[in-house]
Structure 1
Amino acid sequence: MAERYGAYALAGNPAAPAGVLLRLLALNDRGITHRLSYRAVLPDEVAEAMLAHPDRWVRTLLAQSWTAGPGLRARLLDGPASDALAVAMGPHPYRVQVPPLPDRAYERLLNHERGMVRYETVNAPSAPDHVLVPLAGHADPLFRLAACRRVWHLLSGDARSALLTDPDGDVRTAASLQVMDEDEERTEELVRTLADDWRLGEVAERGRLGRALAERLVADEVLLARLALNPALPADLAAGLADHGNPAVRLAVSARPELSEDERAAIDWRVGPEDRLDPLRWVGEARHDPETLRRCARSAHTWLRRSAAVCPGLPQDCVELLAGDADFAVRLLLAECHPGAPAELLLDLYLHGGHRAVGMLTARPGFPAAGLARRCADAPDSRARALSLRDPAATAELVERLSRDPDEGVRRAAARDPRLPLPRLLELLADPGTAPAAAVNPALPPGEMAALLDREGVPG
């Protein structure tokens, strides 16, 4: 790839014409083709070439692209039968909701002869609710199982009752897991049937507990940390765990919903800055209850504040409060999850946060742009200087100045900026350190793109 850095970069240039992209596709280079498949816009000629490409790995890349339109991905079903599995699996981007395939595509996939295709279809995150709900009454237990797990909240009472008494044991278990928080008998049954199953921890944490069952489970050291989180655990049994020797158990007890701040403070709990904690379930269930969220946001307990920070419905006064929280994870979770996270918080975390996730904050809708040229162009921090290029008011003169910055990262950022004067852009294209960034610049003329491919020996 080193000798064709320009070709790889041009695959991501949003202004690259179809002729350039087709030359790149013809290279049969996996890295370059992978980048082609994730373009925001794929010209029709290139899309057709990928659809009809003789190599299955090329078609699979198209099936797995979250930027490719669902209609385009569905057309792969008209090609070789082996492509159906890739279409069924589809894209799985991080924290991005992929549009569903056309209904006709789901009909074909759900009736496919290969069981693996059907399995991947019903478990794909992008499969829409209206496709999954009718599966509750399907003859195939695999489909009924998916309906239990994915759309239980949308099923009718009759459909739920049928699934709870389903002839297939896995389906009955999946249905019981959906109602165990309201049903002591089903919780008892799940404890018996899942004795050696990893899901027993979920039952201990969420199931409705009768007194006798709770006392039996308290004797199980392996389950204690999960059990202590269960709101249905009798208060006296939970209180008896407050000084347990396992710090995970004490932490779980300290985060129970019924405790006052004083009662939490009396427990020896600790949350370290690097500790990864799932959001508390009871806080998530209160996501539409402003007062409960306020209580959590104002709590001295770190876990409660972190759990409140991930709730998009957190009241604005709590957003402002948590934006200044002493715990870095609280601030980061708020920045990642709340649509109203303050722009200054996003900027501060990006520039000063030590976690790898802060680099993704520039993609958040609230990340600032206006005014950054004035604030950051002369900053001592090179990352801040590069941010000044996000400002729509940044002048061509500023972009050119930053293209000569001592820091190569800033020069690369300037090389990608379409406001950069063309003569300077061509200079950067000739510099190995900045050439890949310059080749991505949409202001690069098509003739220069073609010449770059010629220089790298890419066939015409």
Structure 2
Amino acid sequence: MSFLLYGLAANPSLPAGLVDRLVLLADADLAPFLAGRPDLGRTQALALARRVEEAAVPLAYEGRLAADDVDPARWPDAALALLDRGAGPVAWARRFATDPDRARREKLAACPGLPADVIDLLAADPDPGVVAELAWFAPAETAARLAAHPHASVRHAAALNEATPPAVLAALLTGEGLPPARHCRVCEQEEVPFVHDPECPRPDCALLPGDACDGTHASALHRLRETALGNPATPAEAAARFADDPSPALRYALAARPDLPARARARLAADPVPGIRATLAGNPALDEPLLRTMAADPDPAVRRALAHHPRVPLDVLTALVRTTKPGNVLLPRIAAASPAETGALAASPDPAVRALVAHRRDLPREMRDRLAADPDAKVAAAVAPHPGLTEACLRALVARHGVRVLAGVAANPDAPPALLEDLVRHVPTARKAVREVARHPAATPEALLACLADDRARPLAARHPALPPSVAASLLTDADEEVREAAAANPSLPVAAMADLLREG
């Protein structure tokens, strides 16, 4: 029954009176479904929060509860949610800054716009987890101050914060100009030297694999450097010093930076770890000479990443598609191609190149229709979902290429109802095409009934508003709980059936 009520709570056609009745049945699992309803009124929201206290938090985030509705003593988590949205009074912030519950102080520390006195209280909190949360979200001046905190986890949080001043991030990265950290989460709970066993049998252990401390807080400082390298506010010159670091994790973080100096990019292009080279290959800062050099990389993942680079030269891209598979997607460089480049690609003698441009959805009509008539099935499948194709053209695609283009044709927004009915009856069947029909806005009752025979399309068809109301009602007792939930959420479900579900619930 619970899955039926989840679906019913999401049903856009559920009358207000039945929403009221569903609120009276709500529990902690059902409440979030109700809280997300766009038509939930203030009275209903208050009733739901009073019945299920956990619901007050999503209701506050959704803007269904205001400060006047919330007593911070009764609903502290909802009050914190309002503070997180910037919709709670300052008095609440001062209240929670000294709350005995550490989790509440930590939640408060992540809230925006805190007054200076509250920031000072949280910065002096005895729990490093609270201070770390503050350091992660604090404004620049506070983040800079907390970067010198004696606990490594607070410094790590400051390294995450993009508001931390660049000079401070450089100091966190290199350690220069900052006093050494005195504590980390390893040495505060274990006798050093200590190396955490990756197969640690302790069920309550919160340490990560590889955590270690010999008094120098090695693993914590390594994680801090990895984080600082990934922070775009960290100065590029300070980051570039790690291009030759023995740690692959640090070089991975560095390879993704778009502001790397040329010498660091060249070094990473020759990195012995293929994954680092593949990360670099997706870096938008790569210049044309390096893109051309990396196109000869022996690793297919590197070449695939290059194919997705927004500035890869077209001649390099067309060569890449002969040696690697970039996926059936519109590549950024193809999306940015000029009309002249697009025309040249569409006229290429290589079907793999024509398939690249066939993924565009803004092709001139003549070019689109020419690609739809292409003798190569991959080209035809790529262009099949293009809006504007006529029914005759779509039927010709199916006649020419059969099952290989069915899914693309079914995904075409202009596919007419009669064609969708024919697609689900096609022999042989393409299950992906059946799923596309089941979610198509133009699907007819006849097409949807056929889709119910496919186990993966069945939940999609059960939720489709064109499904006959009597069929939607019959699916409320389906053996598959996903289908039952989808049927309960179907806006065509008869109101009488909705009321029956609530009586049974």
TM-score by length of 1: 0.54
Are positions 1:82 and 2:77 aligned together? yes
Asked if structure 1 preserves the Cα contact closer than 8 Å seen for 2:279 and 2:305, the reply is yes
Asked if structure 1 preserves the Cα contact closer than 8 Å seen for 2:6 and 2:33, the reply is yes
Matching residue of 1:185 = 237
Residue deviations 1:155-206 (CA, integer Å, cap 9, x gap): xxxxxxx9333478459986995478xx8735534647x7647463353353
Are positions 1:14 and 2:17 aligned together? no
Asked if structure 1 preserves the Cα contact closer than 8 Å seen for 2:252 and 2:279, the reply is yes
The residue type paired with residue 76 of structure 2 is: A
Structure 1 residues 424-443: aligned runs within 5 Å: 424=470, 428=474, 439-440=488-489, 442=491
SS at structure 2 position matched to 1:36: helix
- Superposition RMSD on alpha carbons, in Å? 6.3
Matching residue of 1:37 = 35
Matching residue of 1:139 = 142
The residue type paired with residue 77 of structure 2 is: S
Residue deviations 1:65-115 (CA, integer Å, cap 9, x gap): xxxx435488886552223566688xxxxxxxxxxx5x5359899987434
Asked if structure 1 preserves the Cα contact closer than 8 Å seen for 2:20 and 2:44, the reply is yes
Give 1:34 deviation, angstroms: 3.7
Asked if structure 1 preserves the Cα contact closer than 8 Å seen for 2:371 and 2:379, the reply is no
Asked if structure 1 preserves the Cα contact closer than 8 Å seen for 2:236 and 2:261, the reply is yes
User: Take 1:279 and 1:233, find their aligned partners in 2: how far apart are those partners?
Assistant: 17
Give 1:271 deviation, angstroms: 1.5
Matched-pair identity in %: 21
Matching residue of 2:222 = none
User: Take 2:371 and 2:41, find their aligned partners in 1: how far apart are those partners?
Assistant: 42
Name the CA shift for 1:54/1:302 in 2 (closer, same or farther; >3 Å): same
> 200-209 or 106-115, which moves further after superposition?
106-115
User: Take 1:248 and 1:204, find their aligned partners in 2: how far apart are those partners?
Assistant: 15
SS at structure 1 position matched to 2:254: helix
Are positions 1:59 and 2:56 aligned together? yes
Asked if structure 1 preserves the Cα contact closer than 8 Å seen for 2:473 and 2:494, the reply is no
Are positions 1:381 and 2:425 aligned together? yes
Give 1:44 deviation, angstroms: 3.6
Asked if structure 1 preserves the Cα contact closer than 8 Å seen for 2:462 and 2:475, the reply is no
Give 1:49 deviation, angstroms: 1.6
- The match for 1:24 among 4, 11, 22 is 22
User: Take 1:61 and 1:323, find their aligned partners in 2: how far apart are those partners?
Assistant: 49
Residue deviations 1:7-64 (CA, integer Å, cap 9, x gap): 44432332333443333333344554343233342244322222333432x3345467
Give 1:278 deviation, angstroms: 11
Asked if structure 2 preserves the Cα contact closer than 8 Å seen for 1:271 and 1:302, the reply is no
Name the CA shift for 1:441/1:186 in 2 (closer, same or farther; >3 Å): closer
Asked if structure 2 preserves the Cα contact closer than 8 Å seen for 1:218 and 1:224, the reply is yes
User: Take 1:453 and 1:217, find their aligned partners in 2: how far apart are those partners?
Assistant: 62
SS at structure 1 position matched to 2:87: helix
Give the gaps of 5 or more residues in structure 1.
90-100, 123-133, 150-161, 336-340
Matching residue of 1:148 = 162
Name the CA shift for 1:105/1:254 in 2 (closer, same or farther; >3 Å): same
Asked if structure 2 preserves the Cα contact closer than 8 Å seen for 1:59 and 1:83, the reply is yes
Name the CA shift for 1:302/1:266 in 2 (closer, same or farther; >3 Å): closer
SS at structure 2 position matched to 1:52: helix
User: Take 1:389 and 1:241, find their aligned partners in 2: how far apart are those partners?
Assistant: 42
User: Take 1:388 and 1:233, find their aligned partners in 2: how far apart are those partners?
Assistant: 40
Are positions 1:450 and 2:499 aligned together? yes
The residue type paired with residue 81 of structure 1 is: P
Matching residue of 1:203 = 254
Structure 1 residues 204-243: aligned runs within 5 Å: 204-205=255-256, 206-211=258-263, 213=264, 216-222=267-273, 223-228=276-281, 243=296
User: Take 2:370 and 2:65, find their aligned partners in 1: how far apart are those partners?
Assistant: 43
The residue type paired with residue 502 of structure 2 is: L
Name the CA shift for 1:147/1:33 in 2 (closer, same or farther; >3 Å): same
Structure 1 residues 34-433: aligned runs within 5 Å: 34-56=32-54, 58-62=55-59, 69-70=62-63, 72=65, 79=72, 80-83=75-78, 101=85, 103-104=86-87, 113=97, 114-119=105-110, 137-140=140-143, 148=162, 163-166=165-168, 169=171, 178=232, 185-186=237-238, 188-189=240-241, 191=243, 196=247, 198=249, 200-205=251-256, 206-211=258-263, 213=264, 216-222=267-273, 223-228=276-281, 243-251=296-304, 257=311, 259=313, 261=315, 265=319, 269-271=323-325, 273=327, 283=333, 290=338, 294=342, 316-317=363-364, 320=368, 331=382, 342=387, 367-368=413-414, 371-372=416-417, 374-377=418-421, 380-381=424-425, 383=434, 390-391=441-442, 407=452, 413=461, 417=465, 424=470, 428=474
TM-score by length of 2: 0.50
Matching residue of 2:218 = none
Asked if structure 1 preserves the Cα contact closer than 8 Å seen for 2:269 and 2:277, the reply is yes
Asked if structure 2 preserves the Cα contact closer than 8 Å seen for 1:376 and 1:388, the reply is no
The residue type paired with residue 139 of structure 1 is: T
The residue type paired with residue 12 of structure 1 is: A
Asked if structure 2 preserves the Cα contact closer than 8 Å seen for 1:164 and 1:176, the reply is no
